[in-house]
Amino acid sequence: MTTRRGIQGFRQGIGALMAACVLLGPGLALSQSAAGGKIPRQANGKPDLSGIWQTTSAADFDLEAHIGRKDAPPGLGIVEGGSIPYTSAALAKKQKNFENRLTADPRLKCWTLGTPRGIYYPEPFEILQRPQDVTVVFEFGDTVRTIHTDGTLHPVDTDHEFWLGDSRGHWEGDTLVVDVRDFNDQTWLSRAGDWHDEALHIVERWKLIDANTIDYQATIEDPNVYSKPWNIEVFLYRHREKDFQLIENYCYTLDYDQYYPYPKS
C-alpha cells in the first residue's frame, strides 16, 4: 500500500506539473519532455504496457542492414553489431532460405510468427496486462501469447516445442524481463530467411521510455545455429488513432474461406 500511495502521489504531482505546463505555455512543456515524461502504471505500481503497439522499422523484412529490393524497403537493421553470428553451416541454410523466401517463409501460410518475430512484424498487436500475466494478442493470425509474471517457473518438462515458446517474466525496476524457451523449429525470424532450431532461447527486455514508446530488446541464443548470443533492439509505438483496434485476421483461413460463403437458397 505504501508503494501504491507513493505512486499515486507521484502521479498527482506529475498531473500538477502538466497543468502548470498548460498554464505557463509551451516553453515548460519542452523541459518536461526532456525530463522523460511519465509512463502509465498499474495499480501495483508496475509500468502499464497495455495498449496497441507496432514497429515502424523494416526489421521483419531483414534484421540486418540492407538496401531496398523488390520485396523489401531498405533498413538499417536492428542487430547489435550489424550481423547475426551464424555458424558457417547455419549461414548456408539462411542463404538458401533467403533464395526461397518468396515461397518458403512460414508467414505466407499465416503460420504463427513466433517469438520475437511477432513483436516486430509490421502489423499491430495488443497488450492486455494483469498483475499475474501480460497477454499479447497479435492481429496477424490472431495469435495469443501469455507472459506469466506470477513468479511461476518454466514447466519442468521442456520438450513441448511451442510456436511462441514458454514465457516467464519478472520486473527489474521498470523493465519487464522475460525468459522464453522451449520452441519448435517451424518459425523464421524474418522474411530474409533468418532461422533457429529447438534450442532457441530468448531473453526479452520491455521498457516504456515514455508513455507511447516501448524500447524492446532481446538477446537471442541458439548454440546449434549461432556462434554466440546476439542482441536486437527495436522501438514499438503506441497506436493513438481514435477508435483504433485490432481487426480479426485469421489469415490462415484465406486459403479455404472461399468454400464457405454463407449458405444461400
Partner 1 sequence: MNTTTHRHTHRHMIATISLPALAATLGSLIALAQTPPATTPTAAPRVGGGGIFLEKSFPAIESGPWSGKRTSDGQPDVEGDWSNTIGNHNNFTDPQGGIPGDPTARNRTLGPRDQRAPSRVSDPADGQIPYQPWARAKQQELAAGLWNAVKPEYIEPHDRCAPGGVPKIFTHTGWEIRQYPGKVLFLFDSSWRLIYLDNPKHLPENLKLWNGDSRGHWEGNTLVVDVSNDNAKARFARTADFASENVHVVERYIFSPDGKRYNYVATFTDPTVYTRPFTVTIPNKRWTLDDPRNGWHYQAREANNPGGPRIADHYERICVENNGGFGQVAITANQQN
Task: Give the integer Cα–Cα distance in Å for 64 and 57.
Answer: 12
- 32 in Cβ contact with 211 (< 8 Å): no
Is 256 a binding residue for partner 1 by CB under 8 A? The answer is yes
Does position 3 interact with partner 1 (CB under 8 A)? The reply is no
Quickly tell me which residue has 519442468 as its cell: 156
User: Contact between 257 and partner 1 (CB under 8 A)?
Assistant: yes
C-alpha to C-alpha distance for 136 and 128, rounded to whole angstroms = 7
Inter-CA distances, 256 with 58, 105, 140, 252, Å: 30, 19, 17, 8
Q: Does residue 5 interact with partner 1 by CB under 8 A?
A: no
98 binds partner 1 (CB under 8 A): no
SS (H, E, C) 162-199: ECCCEEEEEEECCEEEEEEECECCCCECCCCCCECCCC
241 binds partner 1 (CB under 8 A): no
What is the bridge-based pairing of β-strands 133-138 and 144-148?
antiparallel
Q: Nearer Cβ to partner 1, position 23 or 247? A: 247
- Toward partner 1, which CB reaches closer, 78 or 119? 119
Q: Residues 143-182 vs partner 1: string with x where CB under 8 A?
A: xxxx-x-xxxxxxxx--x-xxx-x----------------
Q: Rule CB under 8 A: is residue 130 a binding residue for partner 1?
A: yes
Based on the number of CB atoms within 10 Å of its own CB, is 222 exposed (0-12), middle (13-18) or buried (19 or more)?
A: buried
Q: Which stretch binds partner 1 (CB under 8 A): 54-62, 122-130, 193-201, 204-212?
A: 122-130
For residue 117, which of 81, 160, 78 has the smallest C-alpha distance? 78
Q: Which stretch binds partner 1 (CB under 8 A): 8-16, 73-81, 138-146, 215-223?
A: 138-146
Which of the stretches 21-29, 215-223, 227-235, 247-255 binds partner 1 when contact is defined by CB under 8 A?
247-255
Nearer to partner 1, 14 or 128 (CB): 128
- The answer to whether the beta carbons of residues 72 and 244 sit under 8 Å apart is no
Interface with partner 1 (CB under 8 A): 43, 50, 109, 111-112, 126, 128-130, 133, 135, 137, 142-146, 148, 150-157, 160, 162-164, 166, 186, 243, 245-248, 250, 252-253, 255-257, 259-265
